Amino acid sequence: MRTEIKPLDVLAYSWGYWFLSLAFLASYLGYHALPGNDLQHPLGWWGWFDQSHYIKSARALAAGNFSEDHHLYPLGFAVLGALFISLTPNHPFFFVSLFSVLGTLFLFIKIAGTFKIGRQWAVVIFIGALLQDKTMFLQFVIPWTTTPIVLYIFTALYVALRPSPPTIPAAVVSAVCFVLVLVTRPGDIIALLPIGLVILVRLVRENDGRRVLVTLALGLAAASVVMALYLTLYFWIYGWKYSFYMTHAGAIGLRLEDYVSKLYAIVIDPRPVYGEGQGLVQRAPWLIWAFPATVLLGLSNWRASLIAAVIVLNIGFYTAFNDFVPHGLWRYLNIHYMKVSYLLLALLGASFAATCFQAPRRLIAMGCLLLPFAVFRLDSVAHSATAVAVPNEKTVTFECAACGNARVAILAPTHLTYAQIYYEANRATIGPRSFRNIYDFRTVPVDGTIRAIFPIALGGRPATIEFVSPHGYSNEKPPQVTLISTELRLRVLN
């Protein structure tokens, strides 16, 4: 007996995909940085650093050009773009991004189903989370390596969370996703580690020994084939040496010295240290609900615990990453690093809200968690002091014996350009330690000043900043140097 398919049923099933596709297309065509939209900057985002190398690599692969000079980043994203070069030469990542966001919606619905959230509500949560902030939605429109990464992570996450045990095809697909993350954006593999562990545990617990071995063997074989293809391409381009990306990313590395301060800046407010920007909860206040909801659900639900682990590893890793600057979360679009966490926080926040209607005691628990925030506020309190500055041709040395906890130096005014301050290989020394801009510390232009942000406190020692370009200061006109120290303090609200 054939079941009649009604148009309204099809519309009810697929409206989210059509709506998301139209929103994607409108945002893509209407974005000011779309190549050709701004006559003063006709290259648009192809003139940006990352995107310029994405398209350069994709075009080179499509043309059979394997010169190392054309391939800066890992090749996984460029390979996807190369597939569409002949179809859309100036927009090779359009379909990559569109298919990725639609695939992510599909998987979001599936994952939401494991928390007993219906299809229509899942679509509303997904689209609502993205469209409540235009900048966040644009991170799926602008060509970023993180867009397919979200799809890969969600694929593996659903395999881990689905009600039935991991099947052989599902395990093979998840194994391939692990490799695709490695060859596209290697650092994001850390978010997959708890997912892989859960898949492995469920595979062993819920299957007999023979099926476990067959599944592991096929998954390993599929992953090995994909990795072998990638390594063949890699060796063809780079030979036996590290690529520039591997060397550069390794040199930037991770830093834990100012981890708590940086985490506060990312989640709550970057301005006390960085002078500008917005934290996650300032831009998306619903996260004030979502963060504690994640904690409460994670304590009572293993699926929520896994998602919470992914969120912690994603945000935690990039907090430690030297090149991730909190004040650029929205201005420089660094928020795209955290797209996975953003969507998962929306899911758990909505899931907890739904369960509050079924179990009012959970609402009481949330109230207990949020009550301190209604009474107290965690502030980053800044203390400032003036330091004596001695300029030279390209250096400025300053010292303040009473400013031992200061980690920020503000030099005013500045005669340097934005690029000279932010991008050039400026250096600094504090006592015996030396620091390089981007790799170890940051020089940031803020409101006509230079803000030097160090990973360690000055400790009352002399500090010297050496600029690549002449800074324009002299003994007759030295810079005014203000040293800033911050401390986290609980304040009672009025």
Name the DSSP class of 195. Answer: H
Domain boundary among 209, 227, 252: 252
One domain, residues 185 and 219? yes
pLDDT of residue 119: 92
Q: CB–CB of 230/75 below 8 Å?
A: yes
Do residues 260 and 236 share a domain?
Answer: no
177, two tokens: 């996703």
Please check whether residue 168 is in contact with residue 203, taking contact to mean a CB–CB distance below 8 angstroms. Answer: no
In a domain, 375, yes or no: no
Q: Is residue 1 part of a domain?
A: no
| pLDDT score for 63 | 95
Question: Each residue of 56-69: b (16+ CB within 10 Å) or e?
Answer: bbbbbbbeeeeeee
Q: Which domain holds residue 349?
A: 255-358
Which one of 226, 252, 278 terminates a domain?
Answer: 252
Helix axes 339-358, 146-161, angle to 10 degrees: 40
Residue 200 lies in a domain: yes
Cα separation, 58 vs 65, whole angstroms: 10
Do residue 243 and residue 261 come from a single domain? Answer: no
Helices 189-205 & 302-320, crossing angle to 10 degrees?
160
Please report the pLDDT score of residue 7 as a whole number: 62
Task: Count CB-CB contacts under 10 A for residue 11.
Answer: 10
**DSSP for residue 447:** T
Q: What is the rounded distance in angstroms from the CA atom of residue 209 to the CA atom of residue 389?
A: 71
Amino acid at 449: T
Concatenating the DSSP letter of every residue in 134-165 gives HHHHHHHHS--THHHHHHHHHHHHHHHHSSSP
pLDDT of residue 376: 59
Dihedral (CA of 292, 295, 297, 299) sign = negative
- Domain assignment present for 77: yes
Both tokens of 323, joined, read 């090149």
pLDDT tens digit at each of 494 positions of the chain = 454 555 655 665 688 999 999 999 999 999 999 998 888 888 999 999 999 999 999 999 999 999 999 999 999 999 999 999 999 999 999 999 999 999 999 999 999 999 999 999 999 999 999 999 999 999 999 999 999 999 999 999 999 999 988 888 999 999 999 999 999 999 999 999 999 999 999 998 877 778 889 989 999 999 999 999 999 999 999 999 988 888 888 888 888 888 988 999 999 999 888 888 999 999 999 999 899 899 989 988 999 999 999 999 999 999 999 888 888 888 889 999 999 999 999 999 999 888 887 776 766 767 766 666 655 566 777 778 888 888 888 899 988 877 778 889 999 988 899 999 998 999 999 988 899 998 889 999 998 999 999 988 888 888 999 999 988 888 888 889 888 888 777 676 66
pLDDT of the residue at 290? 93
- What is the rounded distance in angstroms from the CA atom of residue 51 to the CA atom of residue 43? 10
Residue 395 shares a structural domain with residue 476: yes
Helices (H) and strands (E) in the chain, counts: 20, 9
Q: Are 402 and 480 members of one domain?
A: yes
Spatial distance between the Cα atoms of 270 and 154, rounded to a whole number of angstroms: 30
pLDDT at 373: 63
Task: Tell me the DSSP string of 258-320.
Answer: THHHHHHHHHT--HHHHSS---HHHH-TTHHHHHHHHHHHHHH-HHHHHHHHHHHHHHHHHHH
- Phi, psi (rounded to 5 degrees) for 53: -80, -30
- pLDDT number for residue 314: 97
For residues 248 and 265, membership in a common domain is answered with no
Decide if 91 is inside a domain: yes
Question: Is there a single domain that holds both residue 304 and residue 354?
Answer: yes
154: its two tokens: 């969600």
Question: What length is written for the chain?
Answer: 494
Q: Is the peptide bond before 413 cis (omega within 30 degrees of 0)?
A: yes
Say whether both 72 and 197 belong to one domain.
yes
Among 234, 252, 270, which residue terminates a domain?
A: 252
Rounded Cα distance, 19 and 264, in Å:
36
- Rounded distance, CA 120 to CA 192, Å? 28
Q: How many domains does the chain have?
A: 3
Burial of 91 (0-12, 13-18, 19+ CB in 10 A): buried
Q: Which two tokens stand for residue 171?
A: 């395990």
Answer yes or no: are the C-beta atoms of 167 and 149 closer than 8 Å.
Answer: no
Beta bridge partners of 446: 449
Residues 86 and 209 grouped into a single domain:
yes
**Residues 169 and 56 both lie in one domain:** yes
The pLDDT value recorded for residue 1 is: 42
- CA nearest 140: which of 173, 100, 81, 178? 100
Give first-to-last CA distance, the chain, whole Å: 69
Residues 268 and 229 in one domain: no
Report which residue type is found at 133.
D
User: Do residues 215 and 124 both lie within one domain?
Assistant: yes
The CA distances from residue 274 to 101, 210, 262, 265, 462, in Å, are 32, 56, 10, 8, 22
CB of 172 within 8 A of CB of 222? yes
- Coil, helix or strand at residue 326: coil
